[in-house]
Chains A and B, each alone.
Chain A
């Protein structure tokens, strides 16, 4: 390098420093501010609080793993879409470098628009509405299955279940909540089931029900009258409990209850309320890999913060919320800056193999969606949600048909 080039370089560096006085400071920023937007009150309060546990343990675990400092900025959007929007604006204004949330698809869609408008990356922890990643957003990312993925994985796992237990059920009665999630699942099932000719069963009756219904007598009566071999169920927590109780009262004992992918039957309340009756229910859901190295680390941190609780009951919520923050931290480490555009680009280049959820590595496609997230067949055994399939992650063997099955 000659003197002229050297001087030119010095001059350029000086000019650069003068033109971006914060550039140097930012590049040296070692703390990432993560805005966490969850519904901690309102009708989604229970789930939001569950997800928050995943967020709360993240800074400690990530500091050990990546040496990155994370500051959480928590916001409660109170299960209200308007509040989600304004809270997102607020967090960005107060300096959040990246947003994480929000479980509810309506809120996530609102936050996505704000994030895109302000150019701040937003990582969706949980939310299955396919449309959110179909809008052509550049700043919105989702590390969770879409409803379509959930159904596909769920149906495949049902096939694997029947193979593993050597059973051939011919008929199923399909009951589902008539809400956002239930409808998306129903569409998926309607499209995909006929194509899966290796699955031996047909749906003989479809019974939609109101998620807020407090009385499911009629629905269960109809299902029982269909004489189907097993119950295919897309539900939420409260109705799952009501249904199970009603099944007992009406003395209906099918081969089993299988969910192709919905919350409810693996949640703590289901076990606490139903006790022995919760046994053998099956949910095929995106889950964490119990054998993964990261899972064990997160579990330890979880138990330290919540000594009277179990990770099993919060698996989905805690796992995916934690991973969303992990993605942000990992991108921050690679980018070395909190500049939002650079962060977003860095997130797009994510390739995390050391993760806790099932399935392939965390890699985003062009739409900001992770493909290849795996589901597990989770069966309630000994009052705990237990992974029984795939065999690589299984902790026990599946039980099907359930011992209470009475052939009519």
Chain B
């Protein structure tokens, strides 16, 4: 068990974790503000991945270039979804929300199956299989670019929430729903905006993810679960928390895989989730309500 091996594994874990964090970012924003249990999160990302493959196949667009059109489309899609379907469910009990989004997820997965068929779709770009070599460490190019996209998106969101009026209004909503109403904020519109932003994160994550993983219709559910684990671990509503949670999960799974059995590494994420839920339910970077 050489140091070089461990170092390589940890670095890969960090990069992968950042991409997972990007995926979870959207959920953190949605869940943190609108308080809706989006159990169709992974499925939404799957749609983004398919969108990227279609754009690649028909127009030859590199996935990172696809980010712009897909993100824009997803913003409107998320906005509309929130205003039409989700809005009436905000006040409803969790099991209703859960059931609603499970139904939506079911429709998405099988709709994708009907449209695209069961075989995997992929994009093929040159740098997909290349890696940088620094010292004895190999940095997977695609993963590195995806991680950079994750950090950039998180930074962008962070700036949005800190500096713009709409951003501050959304944070106000999240902190104190009643107060926001009293002050006269259009909460419904802000929720829709938030959902739209969350969808944008999903779009970016999907476009980046498609370089690392081939997309098939049943891909979604596993990612939904992973997103929830990361969001809980990192802290609800905290953007750096989502990235941190992602990195933590990525690294712990990598190390578990290295020192124990790789096939059991899933147990460690869930173990970590249980521990966080028990001892620090607001997550690592979340605030206690």
Contact = CB atoms under 8 A, between A and B. Distances in A.
Interface of A: 41-43, 45-46, 49, 178, 207-210, 212-215, 217-219, 221-222, 225, 238, 241-242, 245, 248-251, 268-269, 273, 275, 277
Contacts of A273: 120, 122, 124, 214
A221 B258 contact: yes
Contact of A222 (B12, B13, B131, B262): B262
Given A45-B118, A214-B213, A222 B258 contact: yes
A218 B129 contact: no
Contact of A218 (B140, B214, B222, B257): B257
B118 A250 contact: no
6 contacts: A46-B118, A178-B263, A214-B213, A214-B222, A219-B262, A249-B129
B254 interface: yes
Interface stretch (B1-9, B166-174, B196-204): B1-9
Contacts of B119: 46, 268-269
A215 B9 CA distance: 11
Nearest to B15: A217
B216 interface: yes
A212 B138 contact: no
A222 B5 contact: yes
A67 B123 CA distance: 48
Contact of B138 (A178, A209, A251): A251
A49 B118 contact: yes
B36 to A, nearest CB: 26
Contacts of A241: 120, 214
Contacts, number: 86
Contacts of B253: 218
Contact of A249 (B118, B122, B131, B222): B131
- Of the four ranges (under 10, 10 to 19, 20 to 34, 35 or more), the interface on chain B belongs to 35 or more
Contacts of B120: 238, 241, 269, 273
A41 B110 contact: yes
Given A214-B213, A222-B257, 9 more contacts: A46-B118, A210-B266, A217-B254, A218-B253, A218-B257, A241-B214, A249-B130, A250-B8, A250-B131
B113 A208 contact: no
Given A45-B113, A218-B257, A250-B138, A208 B5 contact: no
Contacts of A275: 124
B205 to A, nearest CB: 13
B59 interface: no
A210 B258 contact: no
A35 B214 CA distance: 34
Interface in B81-134: 110, 113, 118-120, 122, 124, 128-131
A178 B264 CA distance: 9
Nearest to A275: B124
Interface of B: 1-2, 5, 8-9, 12-13, 16, 110, 113, 118-120, 122, 124, 128-131, 138, 140, 212-214, 216, 218, 222, 253-254, 257-258, 261-263, 265-266
B16 A215 contact: yes
Contacts of A214: 212-213, 222
Contacts of B258: 218, 221-222
A266 B275 CA distance: 43
Contacts of A215: 16, 212
B218 A218 contact: no
A177 B9 CA distance: 20
B62 to A, nearest CB: 17
A362 to B, nearest CB: 30
B109 to A, nearest CB: 10
B259 to A, nearest CB: 10
Contacts of B212: 214-215
A222 B1 CA distance: 9
B244 to A, nearest CB: 18
Contacts of A250: 8, 131, 138
Contacts of A221: 5, 8-9, 12, 258
B197 to A, nearest CB: 25
A144 to B, nearest CB: 22
A374 to B, nearest CB: 29
A214 B130 CA distance: 18
A238 B265 contact: no
B150 to A, nearest CB: 15
A217 B118 contact: no
Contact of B262 (A46, A212, A218, A249): A218
A268 B117 CA distance: 14
A218 B254 contact: yes
Given A221-B5, A269-B120, A41 B113 contact: yes
A79 to B, nearest CB: 9
